């Protein structure tokens, strides 16, 4: 575990986790990139971290669970989890958009994820912390 601002990718498809991580590794230098295809393992990892700040890239549907419920489950440890999340969806329906708005999630990307869109979303969240550190 690094002392930086890590990116935690959670998607129930391991292949998607690998693709997302490979995109992020091309530009991200402020921390580690950790991937989980099992939401319960991701939750356990997050709740046991010493540092309660990270960037989350989360699929909206994680098998039988919701990406929003994952963010809710770690919110006590990561108070900014929703604001520091990028939600990924196979189809950004009105319901998904409304769930993002209701959950205070500002970044929603559709699969297949465009690398530049992911980079802009992750860098926007990173920028908030870099500005604060100045």
Q: Tell me, what's the pLDDT at 2?
A: 60
CB atoms within 10 A of CB 117: 15
According to the model, what pLDDT value does residue 86 have? Answer: 99
Along the chain (134 residues), what's the average pLDDT of each consecutive run of 10 residues? 85 98 97 98 96 95 96 96 98 96 98 98 94 69
Q: Which CATH superfamily is domain 7-128 in?
A: Response regulator (3.40.50.2300)
Rg of the chain over CA atoms, in angstroms?
Answer: 13
- Whole-angstrom CA distances from 83 to 26, 49, 53, 90 are 23, 19, 11, 21
Contact status, residue 105 vs residue 87, Cβ threshold 8 Å: yes
Q: 104: closest CA among 89, 119, 85?
A: 85
In whole angstroms, what is the distance from residue 119 CA to residue 98 CA? 23
């Amino acid at each position: 575990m690094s002392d930086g601002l890590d990116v935690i990718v959670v998607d129930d498809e391991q292949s998607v986790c690998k693709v997302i991580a490979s995109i992020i590794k091309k530009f991200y230098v402020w921390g580690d990139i950790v991937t989980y295809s099992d939401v319960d393992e991701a939750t356990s990892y997050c709740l046991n971290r010493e540092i309660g700040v990270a960037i989350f890239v989360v699929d909206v549907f994680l098998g039988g669970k919701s990406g929003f419920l994952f963010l809710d489950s770690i919110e006590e440890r990561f108070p900014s989890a929703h604001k520091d999340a990028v939600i990924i969806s196979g189809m950004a329906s009105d319901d998904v958009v409304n769930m993002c708005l209701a959950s205070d999630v500002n970044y929603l990307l559709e699969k297949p994820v465009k690398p530049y869109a992911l980079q802009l979303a992750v860098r926007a969240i990173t920028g908030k912390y870099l500005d604060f550190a100045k």
